[in-house]
Structure 1
Amino acid sequence: MGQGWSQMWNKSYEGTSVNWKISEMRGGALLDAGTFPNGEYYILVKAVAYNGASTEWVYGSFEIDNTPSASVSSLGLVEGAFDISGSASFKEHAGGPEGTVSAGYGPQGQGWSQMWNKSYEGTSVNWKISEMRGGALLDAGAFPNGEYYSLVKAVAYNGASTDWIYGSFEIDNTPTVGVSSPGQVEEAFDISGTALFKEHVGGLEGTVLVGYGPKGQAWSQMWSKSYEGKSVNWTLSEMRGGALLNAGAFAEGEYDILVKAVAYNGASTGWVYGSFTVSRVNQAKSLGSSNGSCQAALAGNPINFSIGNKYQKERDLDLEGPGLPLGFSRFYNSRSTLTSSVGYGWTASFSEYLTFVTGKVILHQADGAEVHFISDGQGKYISETDKVLLIEPVVGGGYSLKEPDGEVWSFDGSGKLFRITDRNSNTKTLTYTSGRLASVEDNFGRRLEFAYRPDGKLATLTTPIGPFGYNYDGQGNLVILTKPDQTTKTYLYEDPNDVHNLTGILNEKGIRSLTVQYDTQDRGILSQGAGGTKSVSIVYDNNYVRHVTDSLGRTTTFKLYVEKGIARVKEVSGEGCGSCLGSVGERYEFNDRLYVTQAIDGLGVVTTYTYDERGNVLTMKEAVGTPEERTTAYTYHPTLDLVTSITRASVANPWQSTTTTFVYDERENILSRTESGFNGSGAITRTTSYSYNEHGQLTQMDGPRTDLSDVITLEYYPNTPDQGFNRGRLKKITDPLGSETHLGEYNAFGRPETGTDQNNVVTTYTYDPMGRLKTRSVNGFTATFSYDEVGGIVLSHYPDGREFAYDYTNSGWLEKVIGLPGSINYIYDTEGNRAREEIRDDQGTVVRYTLFEYDGKNRLHKTIYPDSNYEERSYDLKGNLTAILDQKGQGTSYAYDRLSRLISVIQPGSVITGYGYDNLDNLIRVTDAENHPTTYTYDDLGRLLSTLSPDTNLTAYTYDAAGNLLSKTDANGITASYTYDGLNRLTRISYPDSSQD
């Protein structure tokens, strides 16, 4: 418009009226607006007659606007392969492509990074950068993290174009990474974890870096590995060419694990931390009985599976008091390298001694274990773990160790044990000849004498009941024990890898009662009784995990916790093992002295404990965090490990307590026990008092009654040599009514051979050479008993003519009882559970039998009868019976509260009985199937005060100080009164109407 014409066409027409078109003038070709630049155009036309006459130029107009439109999709956060796309609209270009789309991207705030374009035919276009790139998608894994813009422009064929149109997308390829903390590690171990990367289409997704170092210090070493894949399970061993870490190369302590994941584009996590602890089990500390801890790592007969130590305790002699017990035990430890007077790997009673290292004293116990004591900085030494014990220097030389039971062990300056004294000054004195223990004698004249072979091995132990003999093989192993009755026990050492490993025991019958196997690392891996019974096999997993399988193939897994070289069971899982300590699902937490601070049972119920500085329990909180939560508190003597009070919440007076208090004399004997609390009327107490002689023997017990004398007195034979075996023994008991019981003619075992009761009836006893009752005679009537070599009773005959014979399996389980008439026979599974019980007649024909099956903890699961009907029992993880299915297929279920108290029984037909309890476990409510409650109230001494029921209404009760029922008043106000003698025997019942007495 405003310019000269661009092109001109003409055409001649016949006719006076013409409709003309430029397309006719152009041979039928239309004009193509797509080729026109945008703008306004004029049309000019002139008509010229045949004679030359013409019009002026006549004008028209048209407009061209081929400006396209375009859009781009904003993608948000992208990962992996992605595309940028959008749409464009063009005006038609009849002669070819309508236009071109140019697209690219760039980091926000910067120039574009790359640009592509493509020409399109068509007026409506859906474009993609991948089309412009020959089909190649963009790879987010190759982009640096950040925000990006996308830009697009559409250019029409005629050159008309859009402005740049913007979209956006975001790249965040930051990975995530995690590490599994191995906890306490042993032997070969690995560090592992997971990482999540964003996809990198072009290759590796990223790299994981892993290192470790002592806690709070710089890392020691670092490894890395690049991975393909978005989800990675990484292990340090892969980065180390398959090599595991070796805990043995680490110093004991806590270690940090640090791990980082770096994506291909350089985006990374921060350092993520884990941890592991190197805590080695101290072999010397772990020998022996593990101090009897209920969390000790013991299984089977037993094997300590923390170190693989086979431990065996043999009690050769056990003589009862007076004074200190006098006995002799031997202890075997397969992991011990000690050669003692009783053989390689064996130790024995009275072999305790002390050794000294800088700042530490080590107690070598008779069972082979070491207990380490550290200096308190004031000249004394305190035990590192378990109960707080003190070793103190003694004026004049030597050391003393006081045990929790009050015994004082005295050692000379070289650490040799020479005397044991109890809290009442009873003693056992050790004498030595040429450095060897020669004798042990107590203050009642009982004596043990030790005789040795030329090589220093114990040959004979002479005791009050006779001699014990000991024989050894050429390797120094103890192989035969000969008892005073001339029976023998044989010990076998058959391991080809270690000639000192105890592999079996033949009992006094010659039956192999124990078999033990070891692996090539000298660890016990199998323990079983006669014929494979009570078998346990052990698999040693790393990181203090052990798998124990019993004789029925049930496997239990134990997770150990190690502190100061001692292992304890921390967690128990699996099927259950009848020959193992601990129950499935149990978990424990410990303090640094290995006291349990928290115990969680298999049902998730929590019990917590607190302790004083001497290791005494201060509080025990049960069912923590539940409605049944309750606390028991303890106090102790200021200098002695003796409980002085036990306190729990009162059940009779809210916000008050019930307490049991104990008073002791200067020798730690209990003088009185007082229970105090409340009943419905006020405070109540009852006290029992005790008196002792100079040897700590009980001489008087004064009961709680005040209405009459309820004193029991005890008299002992003098502690003089002329009394023989009677020396210091109980002579007479006088009851509150003055009646006397006399005992006398004691034998070397400390058992009386005569006794005269309150009615002057004399009973005499005889015993076999091992102290087992042989005859019992009363008024000329005698019962006799016979035993086999291992002490099982095989025959009993009674004065009325009844006689029973007993047979046993090789495992010592009662197999048959033969009497009149017929017999009872028992068959066992390999765990020692009775699997079949038979009743046979005189001809040996089975007339009745019952079968039994058991669960993983050897609890009765099923009882099967001859008609194939059965009863089935189920239990929860605490051993509570939860269901019984009877022979008719009808079930009864049982539910318990968090303190394992029965709270409901659901019988067939939905018959429900409910139960409720007070804080002291007294049953206070029973609700029957018709929802009728019967309630009970108690005082703090556990005595029933009242019963309120729909049937009998209110009944009230009163008691004397000893807990005897004094009165019972029914709902009609009728009171029955009760009278008792000094022995608390009922002597009279009185009613308001004397005719009812």
Structure 2
Amino acid sequence: MTVTYDYGVEADWREISSASTGTIGRSFTAGGQLSGWTRKVDGETLVTASYEYDKGRLRIETDQFGNKTRYDYDEFGRVFRVGPVSESDPDGPFLEGNYVEYSYDNIGRVLTESRHYIDSMSTNRVEVTTYDYSDSDGTQTVTNARNYATESSVSGLIASVRSPLQPNGGGYDDITNVTRTNQVIRNPAGLPTNYINPDGTQSIIEYRNSDTLGDAEQFPTLIRDESGRDRVYTYYEDGRLETSTDLTGQIETQFTYVDVPPGLMDDDDGYVEHLPDGGRLEVVDLPGPGSITYFYNLDGRLVRIERPGFGAYAVSDGDGDGELDFTPDGEPMTVSLPSGETVETMYHDDAKQVRFRTVTDVTAQETEKLEFQYDPNTQNLVRTVNLHQGVPGTSTVPENGDEAVYAYYDDANALHNGKLKSIIFASGMSISYEYDGVGRVGKISTKTGPTATPQDTIYEYDEVGNISKVHDPANASGFTSFTYDELGRLKTRTLPNGIFTKWTFDSRDRLTEIAHFENEDAGNPGEGVSLIVSFAYDHPARAVGEPHRITKTIADGTSTYIDLFYDDALRVLKEEYYDEANALERTIEYEYDDQGNRTSRTETVNGTPSQELYEINETDGYQLEKTSGPDGVLGDGNDLEYAHDDGGRVTGIPRDGGWTLEYNASGQVKSVTRANASDHAYEYDAFGRRISSNDGTNTVEFLIAPAAQRLGPGALDV
């Protein structure tokens, strides 16, 4: 790849061009200060940022959407206020009273940071963070807007963080049973070697060449977790990874590499392979029979990946010109998948954004064609269309396709200019967004059709940005409320129907209990009354996070529990189930092969064992081929066999008379055919998110938010 710099007549570069970035430019004031950034898109030069100065200090910053931010200074030249202003009056008031204000001590250190804004409930908010410094030992203490403090200090090679603390007017007090100290020890080169937890357990890292100041942090040779389990890594002399192990420190993966000298090509198949060790990964030898092999062309670009039992991924010649298809920056344009499908991707010329993505099956039929459209000025996505949605195997294009249209706020004199405003789908379903003063989602409105009544979900936040309430769109007065402990961990949730849930954690943030109650105790906020059910999790002192006992307690106070036993790789070896009288009811034991595949499951009830065996594909070492069923015998004609396609995906499941699965080019299930039940079909949007499900009788459609939250009628799952 070639990178070109254009300096013009100046001493610093004005323009940089490369295949991967396109052309990026920058400009300067007469005094040499940066005044702007530009980008060339489809031949047009777009301003992506600009800066205005006053007496040499940054005064106005403008982004690609035209949003302006103003910086105000005090008499000593320190930033005093920062906030958004209108395009028409940049020297006027901050938009909607939204700004951040700073105060300083006598030597210029920040003492307070005050954020002013209007929240989603139209309430004026001021959230203050304070900073305290100790000149004697360099300790810094930060108190957040919830009035909980965190103290940071360094003594020699040991860095300590103590939190949360309660300010007392002149100092800071520990909070009983909550305050904790975490430490990091570094070696003389500054690399972290020990992470020490509040309970004294620690994880350890050792490095290759740990006594140097180079990039040794990228080359750990041993990582030991709090339970004493090791992962071990070795390297070639030039620093490339050679081997790695699992948590047992024994099962090893081997990495080998290949050079791709210019002009050298294998004449037999067009791929370079089996050359002397060099810079590109060639083979990953996995534990057991499996391995992954990588092939490159003479430019060093990856063109093929092979794995036994999983077929091959290969860049192909989609346009028939005799050459493999890549963009100038090396992105593959035509790819053959292990499943036999071909995916062709077309890009916009300069923006490097996907324009079309076309999928062709083994019969040379286009089964999917996605189109992406962007705003030429802001580069925001404005439209996606699946031109073949609903008509697989044909080239017939529906009039509108499966379309989604994106709209954005467009007013440089108001907040949120350039942020996503709405998405409207071809079905008439839609989703729209409103934001609070600091840009958080304040309201989501969903509609099931063009004339449907909007269902509004409103979000409130606490002083540090945690969601505190979610207002139920199906009940104007109903909401779900959340509280958080002093460390910001979820503490309680109250549903609109009054159901109250409490979470408890230990000093290492491991969950120790979830308890559900009929109501919160009005006389003792934060506690529940009328237990429904609770689950308690016991962790040995050195356990990383997996519970070794789970105890279930129901409303009448009786409890049952499960004891769990693990191997060094955190695989469950045995489960023991006990009843209300602490009597053992049943056990389940598991065995594994060297690759970590489960090979047997033995359940014992009242002293009588029942075993199920699992057979793994001998070629790839990972695919489950058959199970014995409850008779515990493989090969007796009663086995349950699983089918796989050339890409290694499960296509047949021996359940309820047999299930057959089909996939799209992205590897997502598009249909399930069931012998003794109704079939299911699934559709996905341009980003691979499921948008509909059909069970043969009913179709359920989903609205999908950009962050992939799934929105159902009248509800939001977050």
Match of 2:306 among 600, 605, 628: 600
Aligned match for 1:470, one of 141, 152, 163: 152
The aligned counterpart of 1:660 is 370
Give the Cα separation in 2 of the matches to 1:636 and 1:408: 21
| Alpha-carbon distance change, 521 to 837 in structure 1, aligned in 2, over 3 angstroms | same
Mapping 1:933-944, distance limit 5 Å:
none
Q: How does 1:226-305 map to 2 (within 5 A)?
A: none
Aligned equivalent of 1:741, options 446, 453, 456? 456
1:686 alignment partner in structure 2: 402
Structure 2 CA distance for aligned equivalents of residues 845 and 937 of structure 1: 43
| Alignment of 1:394 onto 2:27 | yes
Question: 1:503 aligned to 2:205?
Answer: no
Measure how far apart 1:695 and its partner are.
4.2
Instruction: Give the Cα–Cα distance (whole angstroms) in 1 for the partners of residues 51 and 137 of structure 2.
Output: 22
Scaled by the length of structure 2, the TM-score of the pair is 0.62
The question of whether the paired residues in 1 share the 8 Å contact of 2:294 and 2:302 is answered with: yes
Question: Is the CA contact 1:676–1:940 (under 8 Å) kept in the aligned structure 2?
Answer: no
Inter-CA distance 418–503: structure 2 relative to 1 (3 Å threshold): farther
- 1:900 aligns with 648
Q: Which amino acid aligns with 1:459?
A: Q
1:949 corresponds in structure 2 to: none
Q: For 1:164-175, list aligned pairs within 5 A.
A: none
Q: Give the Cα–Cα distance (whole angstroms) in 2 for the partners of residues 517 and 735 of structure 1.
A: 55
2:561 pairs with 812, 823, 830, which one?
823
2:294 to 588, 596, 614: 588
Q: State the AA in 2 paired with 1:663.
A: Q
| Aligned-partner SS, 2:545 | coil
State the distance in 1 between where 2:481 and 2:552 align. Answer: 26
Give the CA deviation at 1:501.
Answer: 4.1
Distance in 1 of aligned mates of 2:253 and 2:260: 23
Is the Cα contact below 8 Å between 2:142 and 2:150 reproduced in 1?
yes
Matched, 1:700 2:422: yes
Q: Following the alignment from structure 1 to structure 2, what is the Cα–Cα distance between the partners of residues 915 and 781?
A: 39
Equivalent-residue separation in structure 1 for 2:236 and 2:700 (angstroms): 67
Q: Give the residue type in structure 1 aligned to 2:357.
A: I
2:490 counterpart letter in structure 1: L
Kept after mapping to 1: 8 A contact 2:381/2:406: yes
What is the CA–CA distance in structure 1 between the aligned matches of 2:291 and 2:110, rounded to whole Å? 48
Matched residue, 2:491: 774
Matched residues in 2 for 1:827 and 1:407: separation? Answer: 60
- Structure 1 distance, partners of 2:190, 2:364, is 64
- Mapped contact 2:309–2:648 kept (Cα < 8 A): no
User: Residue 233 of structure 2 aligns with which residue?
Assistant: 538
1:959-989 Cα deviation digits (max 9, x unpaired): xxx86879x8xxxxxxx9999999998xxxx
| Cα separation, 1, equivalents of 2:547 and 2:359 | 44
Corresponding residue for residue 632 of structure 2: 888
Aligned to 1:61: none
- Paired letter, 2:253: T
Counterpart amino acid of 1:699? K
Could you list the per-position Cα deviations for residues 301-325 of structure 1 after superposition, in whole angstroms to 9, with x for gaps in the alignment?
xxxxxxxxxxxxxxxxxxxxxxxxx
Residue 662 of structure 1: how far off its partner (Å): 1.6
Shift of 1:798: 1.4
Question: CA separation of 1:888/1:851 partners in 2, compared to 1, >3 Å: closer, same or farther?
Answer: closer
Other structure's SS at 1:869 match: strand
Query: More relative contact order in 1 or in 2 (CA 8 Å, sep 6+)?
Result: 2
Residue number among 585, 592, 611 corresponding to 2:326 in the alignment: 611
Residue type of the partner of 1:691?
A
Task: Return closer, same or farther for 1:656/1:557 CA change in 2, 3 Å cut-off.
Answer: closer
Matches within 5 A, 1:478-489: 478-480=159-161, 482=163, 486-489=179-182
Determine if contact 1:400/1:408 at 8 Å carries over to the other structure. Answer: yes
Match of 1:722 in 2: none
Residue 873 of structure 1 and its aligned partner are, at CA, apart by 4.2
Assess, with a 3 A threshold, how the Cα gap between structure 1 residues 937 and 860 changes in structure 2: closer, same or farther: closer
Query: Does residue 716 of structure 1 match 2:461?
Result: no
Distance 1:529 1:421 in 2: 47
Q: 2:614 aligns with which of 859, 866, 872?
A: 872
Matched, 1:784 2:479: no
Letter in 1 for 2:515: H
TM-score, scaled to structure 1: 0.46
Q: CA deviation at 1:572?
A: 1.1
Distance 1:435 1:927, change over 3 A: same
Q: Percent same amino acid among aligned pairs? A: 17
SS in 2 for 1:865: strand
| Distance across 1 between alignment mates of 2:297 and 2:136 | 46
1:814 aligns with 2:547: yes
The equivalent residue for 1:671 is 382
* Cα distance, 1:674 vs structure 2: 0.9
**1:426–1:442 Cα contact (<8 Å) kept:** no
- Counterpart of 2:216? none
Count of aligned pairs: 547
Aligned CA RMSD, in angstroms, stands at 5.3
1:730 corresponds to: 442
Amino acid corresponding to residue 804 of structure 1 in structure 2: F
User: What is the aligned partner in structure 2 of residue 556 from structure 1?
Assistant: 253
Aligned equivalents of 2:195, 2:382: Cα separation in 1: 47
Aligned AA for 2:206? Q
Structure-2 change in CA distance of 1:536 and 1:394 (3 Å): same
Q: Secondary structure at the match of 1:799?
A: strand
CA distance in 2, matches of 1:427, 1:590: 47
For residues 373 and 418 of structure 1, the distance between their equivalents in structure 2, rounded to whole angstroms, comes to 37
1:633 Cα deviation from its structure 2 partner? 1.4
2:206 aligned residue: 517
Equivalent residue, structure 1, for 2:524? none
Distance of aligned partners of 1:880 and 1:981 in 2 relative to their CA distance in 1, 3 Å threshold: closer
- Answer yes or no: is the 8 Å Cα contact 1:601–1:878 preserved in 2: no
Letter in 2 for 1:688: A
* Contiguous gaps of at least 5 residues in structure 1: 1-371, 577-582, 720-726, 929-933, 943-961, 969-975, 986-997
Whether the 8 Å CA contact 1:384–1:593 is kept in 2: the answer is no
1:426·1:443 contact (CA, 8 Å) conserved in 2? Answer: no
Please tell me the residue identity of whatever aligns with 1:763. T
For residues 895 and 981 of structure 1, what CA distance do their matches in structure 2 show? Answer: 30
Contact 1:806–1:817 under 8 Å retained in 2: yes
The whole-number CA distance in structure 2 between the counterparts of 1:483 and 1:428 is 34
Q: Deviations over 1:775-818 (max 9, x none)?
A: 22234442222222233332222124122222234211122221
Q: Among residues 508, 515, 529, which one is paired with 2:225 in the alignment?
A: 529
Mark the CA change 1:461 to 1:807 in structure 2 (over 3 Å): closer, same or farther: same
